[in-house]
Amino acid sequence: MIKPLQLTLLFMILLFGSCQKKISDLEFEKNVMTEIFPDLIDNTSVS
């Protein structure tokens, strides 16, 4: 049987692993939008 501490550590590793992936997915989508719609992005972004 898995001890509660091991279960907690496993859960935290999975949680942080999925967070890192979501950040990279968001960055990827941002780059795709910038490449596909550069004029739209330039008009809507506030500098």
- Residue 44: pLDDT band by 50, 70, 90 thresholds? low
What's the pLDDT score for residue 7? 85
Q: What is the pLDDT of residues 12-38, one digit of tens each?
A: 888 887 776 767 888 888 888 888 887
CA distance 12 to 47: 37
Name the residue range of residue 18's domain. 4-43
The total of structural domains in the chain comes to 1
- Residue 6: pLDDT band by 50, 70, 90 thresholds? confident
- pTM of the predicted model, to two decimals? 0.40
Angle in degrees, CA 4, 5, 10, rounded to 5: 95
